[in-house]
Chains A and B, each alone.
Chain A
């Protein structure tokens, strides 16, 4: 069976038990995956979004499909196909609700008709597209063979023939007191039209309609059911053919087509999630991934969870560059509060994770390292109130991370040791930093401890900066520069009239 998600055998994962990875909540990936899969709950896509790929070959396989689906014609065509298959399943569910087999038979026929039309339309969509992906090309070949098969062709022409016959069924009902008489129709004159014709001469303009909307219930009531039984007697060949058809085509949905329709949702869901952000002008790209080269970057990246909210509100989004030279490992981010530091740290984790799913990532251009695992160390609000308890908790957590992490891991640390005195915090942080550098793991560390930023060598200092001229309004820009802690202080001081110049004047 064609598998468009995996080129080789998929990892043996128990889909029911795949929970969100531990770091999901810290970097808002839980929000992102919720939003991506929203509206597609029946497809149970979350396990797929919680299972990162380990091989570059698998990632390339998905990249090819993602690239093909950038063609709007193909995308919309496949989406339409998926919608039609949804209606087929809806028909089959509805069918079970009926008591009368005459009604079941007809709904079954309509379901097969929808299915056959959908498959035929999908063939046209795939034929019109310039496919570059191995997955879609293989599926196209399979679909062509299936549609050309004698079995499918026969089924389809049988559906058409029976539908035609049913479309010609016309009958009259003579309702006389409690007696209902059913006959074949003989092209009787429509009395409503006759009334309209008689009074047409008075027409001055359009008038309102008095047509009553009857509630649309698909079930037959007792009288309708008895009428239908008799209509079937009036058209015996038609209704016999209809019943035979259902008996002979019980499992008409091809398993490969069924699987394709389910698996393609992974791509459709993700691309649809990106669409409003793309429309707002935000850049996305398929990153170049490596499991050896440590020279990485992402240009004009941003936080997907935040961008989704801001685009919905129509607010602007600040993009940031990220880059590490081959020997660099640790990014130390300092700067004013609310300056976008945590957002930046989260987005670095998001990019790495989404890249490992084979998905496009935020940014104009990206080259990323395929990390084996992602660890996060964020302040836990619900931790014990006792100060020593909180510090202890933080230390235990970082120790666990350092045990599990390898040189291929990504560690994101956000404001560790914020609850202890500056001197102790600096000492402990420098010790943790040493261990991370020893591991060789990639790390983003948001901190107020500027000593960390001044280590040089394999650590890089980033600062959330304030644009000159508009000192109080923060820009959420993260720049590579030494941490000096000055720019923001100047802004706050000026706001309160406490700069050197201001104080000289005031005093």
Chain B
């Protein structure tokens, strides 16, 4: 039995190793805020949300599979929460029984078996609960994932099955007599002790322990014979070793099944939490249209930085982008004009789409990318100028190691830690190479020589957006199409003039 609520054909591994670049993405896109809202205080939910967001899906089918399940969840959140509760209940009860580790009993199969029977009784409760839920709710769901899950429960956990399990557990609590088989080892010592069922099964459970058969020899252990009693109990333990192991392993299998269910549901619970919070803010969300990686396309309406919105606790102005098949997006313009926020909005939407989530936009249509990378200027890096530039190049080199066709790289004021001419030239070479390799680039930059050069050479092959300087009154954060301009504001002009003298790094507000 497999839950398969995250992938149509395989398990979800919440502890799988994240891509090398994951931690940079968390930092650059401000993902902790997003994880926090999805978790709503539950660390399990947070772990799963992080694992799912950072290990993006690779095919449109997989994305749609989760989108459909999520839509079911949004329609019937109470059923999903009940399923999750059943899983938690089993976990809590099982912990009550165990008081931590197995401790000494793991060395005595007869005790271990006793424990396993009790544990199995506890684990049967949520299984029966799931089955009851399936009986009642199955018809409500439309997604292949949830329909398949409920059908599996109906099929595998029919009443006969539970009866058979109960009967087996009953036999194993019957402590009056054990029937073992054994062979002789090469020293005439017994080996391969196994608990077995008598062939006289038909005559009923009680009779089977006392069957009439020819040629049998009995002996009694004297009640005062302590070593005899000890030897006998060891013999029992040897006989129960196999069955205790089998039942303990079976409880582990069921625990693992319930764990898998909890893990996969945790993702959808996180999605429900996020949806509820954005609803409170009246911030728009939409299910994106995923397209195959082979065909580059990017069209965005009203995208906003969901992490910023969650952090500020208010709805934000969205921006549009009609890149279509164009692979290069360059954003220039005033400081405080919303450039970085839009870059993040693009990255977040891509990330959310690729894990099956809705996106923070009015509409979003994009191809799946083979990898999402961010190369952001690190404000907090206060090392010397040369050291900072070297650090930037090292990070870039690490990214290049992982790049492939149809990757998306977000640059935020990259290569500005040196003078503008040098930075522009390096940026120019990197961008040119990446574009030729079929990699999409969104680049926020103050490097006028670089941005202007791209506009001159590529012009219509790229999308050039410009942030408007904040006017008097509240900032608009609107971006508009437009060529890079040499003078955006007084600060930028100052930077351009002094940057060539190498005294002040570009992009640092005086």
User: CB within 8 Å of B: which residues of A?
Assistant: 102-103, 105-107, 110, 166-167, 169-196, 198-205, 207-212, 214, 218, 220-224, 226-228, 230-231, 233-234
Contact = CB atoms under 8 A, between A and B. Distances in A.
Contacts of A167: 183
Contact of A234 (B2, B215, B220, B234): B215
B217 A233 contact: yes
A106 B181 contact: no
Contacts of A180: 218-221, 232, 235
Contacts of B227: 221-222
B367 to A, nearest CB: 34
Contact of A209 (B171, B190, B229, B249): B249
Given A110-B186, A172-B179, A173-B235, A196 B250 contact: yes
Contact of A223 (B183, B232, B246): B232
B239 A195 contact: no
B237 interface: yes
B221 A174 contact: no
Interface in B202-233: 209-210, 213, 215-223, 225, 227-229, 231-232
Interface in B241-266: 241-250, 252-254, 256-257, 260
B207 to A, nearest CB: 13
Contact of A222 (B107, B189, B218, B228): B228
Given A175-B236, A196-B246, A209-B249, A230 B11 contact: no
A195 B250 contact: yes
B187 interface: yes
Contacts of B220: 178-180
15 contacts: A102-B188, A110-B187, A169-B184, A176-B177, A178-B222, A180-B220, A180-B232, A193-B246, A195-B168, A199-B165, A199-B253, A200-B253, A207-B252, A211-B241, A223-B221
B252 A208 contact: yes
Contacts of B2: 204
A176 B179 CA distance: 9
Contacts of A184: 215
A209 B235 CA distance: 20
B154 to A, nearest CB: 13
Contact of A183 (B193, B215, B250): B215
Nearest to A188: B196
A215 B463 CA distance: 75
B276 interface: no
Q: Which 4 A-B pairs have the closest CB atoms?
A: A199-B250, A192-B242, A176-B177, A188-B196
Contacts of A110: 186-187
Interface in B100-151: 106-109, 112
A159 to B, nearest CB: 12
Contact of B190 (A200, A205, A227): A227
B35 to A, nearest CB: 26
Given A183-B213, A221-B231, A202 B249 contact: no
Contact of A224 (B189, B196, B242): B189
Nearest to A107: B187
A493 B460 CA distance: 82
A110 B188 CA distance: 10
Contact of B181 (A171, A194, A199, A208): A171
A123 to B, nearest CB: 24
Given A202-B254, A207-B253, A210-B245, A174 B199 contact: no
A177 B182 CA distance: 19
Contacts of A174: 177-180, 209-210
A192 B210 CA distance: 21
Which of A171, A178, A192, A231 has the largest number of chain B CB atoms within 10 A?
Answer: A192
A188 B253 contact: no
B15 interface: no
Given A190-B242, A230-B219, A210 B187 contact: no
A192 B188 contact: no
Nearest to B251: A199
Contact of A191 (B190, B197, B218): B197
Contacts of A192: 194-195, 242-243, 245-246
A103 B188 CA distance: 6
A187 B109 contact: no
A203 B254 CA distance: 7
B243 A203 contact: no
Nearest to A218: B187
A200 B187 CA distance: 36
Contacts of B156: 201
Contact of B231 (A172, A205, A223): A223
Nearest to B236: A175
A181 B107 contact: no
Nearest to A168: B183
Given A194-B168, A199-B250, A209-B249, A223 B228 contact: yes
Given A170-B183, A191-B196, A212 B108 contact: yes
Given A173-B239, A187-B199, A209-B249, 9 more contacts: A189-B196, A189-B197, A192-B243, A194-B197, A196-B249, A204-B2, A207-B256, A223-B228, A230-B217
Nearest to B217: A230
B71 interface: no
B164 interface: yes
B235 A223 contact: yes
A207 B259 CA distance: 13
A200 B161 CA distance: 12
A88 to B, nearest CB: 13
Contact of B237 (A177, A187, A193, A212): A212
B419 to A, nearest CB: 54
Contacts of B107: 212
Contacts of A230: 217, 219
B228 A186 contact: no
A188 B178 CA distance: 13
Nearest to B225: A222
Given A174-B209, A199-B253, A211-B245, A204 B218 contact: no
B263 to A, nearest CB: 11
Contacts of A210: 106, 112, 244-245, 248-249
B253 A202 contact: yes
B198 interface: yes
B176 interface: yes
Contacts of B190: 224, 227-228
Nearest to A217: B189
Contact of A214 (B179, B232, B234, B249): B234
Contacts of B375: none
A218 B216 CA distance: 26
Contacts of A212: 106-109, 112, 237, 241, 244
Which of A107, A179, A199 has the largest number of chain B CB atoms within 10 A?
Answer: A199
B509 interface: no
